[in-house]
Structure 1
Amino acid sequence: MSAVRDARRGDTTRLFLAALLGEWLKLRTLRSTWWNLAAAVALSVGIGFLYGSVIEGNYADFGAKPEWDAVGYGFAGTNVAQLALVCFGVLAVGAEYSTGTVRASLTAVPRRGVFGAAKFTAVAVTAFAVTLPTAFLTFAVAQTAMGERQNAALGDPGALRATVGLAVYLTLVCLISAGVAMMLRGTVPALGILVPLFFIVSDILASLPGVGGFARYLPGVAGAQILRAVPDARFDVGTWDGLGVLLLWTAAALCGGLVTLCRRDA
């Protein structure tokens, strides 16, 4: 029995690796992959530079304040750049449902759990490979634009953690998007939920009295705490609490996507 289990485990591993290579090939051949990832880089770095340029020379308004967070301010473009990662995650999964090619994919990889895991892994690795260098580039550009009196160095407390956290945050947002697209089996309904969730609902609820306690547990609000070197006094969710909340959202989206994939017809 042990030999049988080992053989099955080996077959599953080989099938997963083959499916993973196939998913990477799909991502590389999709034009939307390159456009969305390029947009994420350009928006993150470009808006970071613009924010840094705006506050250069305004030391009295920004840098002199004890609550000033140069790191978090330099990553302000994340709120826009994540739109490109949301689109990337949705299209990486939803495009196959929209075109019907998911049936051919499931014929090639009939074990749906393996197929879904390979797709999510390919999305996560691709997103992190792009967002990690983007995070360090954004930090360097934004802090240089701010000027020496109010900027931060990578060795300052919390700066390195927040920079790596930017890549982690964007990757998890991308995985949430992929999981929702698999649950809804299409691009339009997934974008119809995710875009308001990350760009409208979170900001509105966070600013309304009486519901701010709920808003802090939304993925965009909780996850944003990862990008700060100085905690946001408006929320009692810290860096690691925010990461934990974001991981729970990610796990729920991925599990929901896999359950839908395994239980519903293509």
Structure 2
Amino acid sequence: MSAVRDDQPGSGRMSHFLAVLSAEGLKLRTLRSTWWNLAAVVALSVGIGFLYGSVIKGNYADFGAKPAFDAVGYGFAGTNVAQLALVCFGVLAVGAEYSAGTVRASLTAVPRRGVFGAAKLTAVAVTAFAVTLPTAFLTFAVAQTAMGERQNASLGDPGALRAVVGLAVYLTLLCLISAAVTMMLRSTVLSLGILVPLFFIVSDILASLPGVGAVARYLPNVAGVQLMRVTPDDRIDVDAWGALGVLLLWTAVALCGGLATLRRRDA
């Protein structure tokens, strides 16, 4: 089999993309906000998971004795707070360049805006998944240990492994949506001002309202809860795979909007 030459068009484009991706990864590593936000994701997920597990252990009659008790879902309760740090990571990973004005230099170095945007979003997604996947397994282990043997779950239980991986996928997609929205809005403050209330306040209120709730239940953060549970959430009419489809649809819309804005608007 002959070797692929570097001067071939496809190989050249891939090499160029990988070079830009490497540069975007370096940018993320040099941002202090990256380390603080990702450390907060780990600390909050594991710490709150341990607290929930400890509380549940001391209240077996109220939790573990019930047939519908979802030990995996309760163990991941801390991610409701931890995902705030991940949203901030996604926003700052993109918005920092717009705030500092360095995006102009980046676009001068990489004139092909589609390549630049795709590399930046890929770097955000890879970094987020590299952190959230081990965090999901660690949180599961700590929370289930804290619950005690009478009511905890094991990784071999039906749906447990799917929920652990599903948590990492959900958090990664939520981070990617946040980054893409920031690419559309080109403002850290505006993006955080919209995404934080939407994901953590407004969505829960809307989901509980008659009429509007039927649609609001399919917002990304509401549908994403289904991925990290073994027992389905009654608020949503789709299973875990359906919820994944909802999340992927939101992600695709956000990515298309972010990349289209980057290509059409001046820096």
| Residue 226 of structure 1: aligned partner | 227
Partner amino acid for 1:227? Answer: M
Displacement, 1:12? 1.6
Separation (CA, whole Å) in 1 of partners of 2:139 and 2:54: 13
| Residue 26 of structure 2: aligned partner | 25
Separation (CA, whole Å) in 2 of partners of 1:203 and 1:237: 17
Separation (CA, whole Å) in 1 of partners of 2:27 and 2:198: 28
Separation (CA, whole Å) in 1 of partners of 2:147 and 2:212: 34
Separation (CA, whole Å) in 1 of partners of 2:92 and 2:162: 30
Q: What are the residue-to-residue correspondences of 1:245-260 with 2, within 5 Å?
A: 245-260=246-261
| Residue 38 of structure 2: aligned partner | 37
Separation (CA, whole Å) in 1 of partners of 2:97 and 2:68: 47
Partner amino acid for 1:166? Answer: L
**In the alignment, is the contact (CA less than 8 A) between 1:23 and 1:122 conserved in 2?**
yes
Partner amino acid for 1:184? Answer: L
| Residue 76 of structure 1: aligned partner | 77
Gaps of 5+ in 2: 1-6
Displacement, 1:186? 1.4
- Work out the number of aligned pairs and report it: 261
| Residue 3 of structure 1: aligned partner | none
| Residue 148 of structure 1: aligned partner | 149
Partner amino acid for 1:252? Answer: V
**In the alignment, is the contact (CA less than 8 A) between 1:216 and 1:237 conserved in 2?**
no
Spell out structure 1 runs of 4+ moving beyond 6 A. Answer: none
| Residue 215 of structure 1: aligned partner | 216
Separation (CA, whole Å) in 2 of partners of 1:176 and 1:233: 25
**In the alignment, is the contact (CA less than 8 A) between 1:144 and 1:151 conserved in 2?**
yes
| Residue 50 of structure 2: aligned partner | 49
Gaps of 5+ in 1: 1-5
Separation (CA, whole Å) in 1 of partners of 2:26 and 2:233: 41
Displacement, 1:166? 0.8
Residue deviations 1:42-69, cap 9 Å, x none?
Answer: 0000110111111113121111112110
Displacement, 1:207? 2.0
Displacement, 1:235? 2.3
Q: What are the residue-to-residue correspondences of 1:178-189 with 2, within 5 Å?
A: 178-189=179-190
Partner amino acid for 2:17? Answer: F
| Residue 131 of structure 2: aligned partner | 130
| Residue 194 of structure 2: aligned partner | 193
**In the alignment, is the contact (CA less than 8 A) between 1:182 and 1:260 conserved in 2?**
yes
Displacement, 1:233? 2.2
- Sequence identity, in percent? 83
Partner amino acid for 2:181? Answer: V
- Which deviates more from structure 2 when the two are superposed, residues 9-18 or residues 45-54? 9-18
**In the alignment, is the contact (CA less than 8 A) between 1:86 and 1:174 conserved in 2?**
yes
**In the alignment, is the contact (CA less than 8 A) between 1:57 and 1:147 conserved in 2?**
no
Q: TM-score, normalised by structure 2?
A: 0.95
**1:156 partner SS:** coil
Displacement, 1:212? 2.1
**2:65 partner SS:** coil
Separation (CA, whole Å) in 2 of partners of 1:235 and 1:251: 21
Separation (CA, whole Å) in 2 of partners of 1:234 and 1:33: 34
Separation (CA, whole Å) in 2 of partners of 1:9 and 1:197: 41
| Residue 111 of structure 2: aligned partner | 110
Separation (CA, whole Å) in 1 of partners of 2:121 and 2:102: 17
Residue deviations 1:144-202, cap 9 Å, x none?
Answer: 11111111001001100000111101100110000000000110111111101110011
| Residue 87 of structure 1: aligned partner | 88
Separation (CA, whole Å) in 2 of partners of 1:64 and 1:158: 19
Alpha-carbon RMSD: 1.0
| Residue 100 of structure 1: aligned partner | 101
Partner amino acid for 2:68? Answer: E
Separation (CA, whole Å) in 1 of partners of 2:236 and 2:180: 27
Displacement, 1:8? 3.1
Displacement, 1:111? 0.3
Partner amino acid for 2:126? Answer: V
Separation (CA, whole Å) in 1 of partners of 2:122 and 2:135: 20
Displacement, 1:9? 2.4
